[in-house]
Structures are given as structure tokens and as C-alpha cells.
Amino acid sequence: MNSMYGRFGMHPSLTKHEIITEEQTQNICPHWQLSAKIDFGELSLVTLLLDKDRKGR
């Protein structure tokens, strides 16, 4: 019984890793929090976290 309550009490962060352009970065940022960014010329490897206000929507 205790493990069931522990499982439902967890709040995992939703993480996303993508290779995107600068334009796509601007479109994603209102919905996702930019955690890390590594530039590769015109493309970037980004780590995104779902904005806490948007969870469950």
C-alpha cells in the first residue's frame, strides 16, 4: 500500500532532447524551459523541461 502512495506522489520532470534550428528554439521556448544548449553551426542540441505551468494541460 505504501508503494502505491509513493508512486502517485512522484512529480517527474518531463525532459526532451532535440536538435533544432534557432527559429524552432524561439517557437518552443514559450512552452518549454530551455535547460541546456550546445550550438553546432546553424543547429543546436537543446535540453528542454516542460514548463511547470503547462503540466497536465
pLDDT in tens, 17-31: 999 999 998 888 777
Q: Which amino acid is at 30?
A: P
In which band, very low, low, confident or very high, does the pLDDT at 2 lie, cut at 50, 70 and 90?
low
Strand partners, 34: 48
User: What's the structural domain count of the chain?
Assistant: 1
**Predicted local distance difference test score (pLDDT) of residue 13:** 73
Helices assigned H by DSSP within 1-57: 2-8, 22-28
Answer yes or no: is 37 within a domain.
yes
Instruction: Examine residue 23 and state whether it is found in any structural domain, yes or no.
Output: yes
The residue range of the domain holding 36 is 13-54
Q: Is residue 20 part of a domain?
A: yes
For the record, the C-alpha cell of 42 comes out as 546553424
For residues 48 and 18, what is the distance between their CA atoms, to the nearest angstrom? Answer: 8
- The answer to whether residue 40 is domain-embedded is yes
Residue 18 lies in a domain: yes
- Residue 7: inside a domain: no
Over the stretch 4-57, which tens digit does the pLDDT of each residue have?
A: 666 666 666 788 899 999 999 888 877 788 999 999 999 999 999 987 665 545
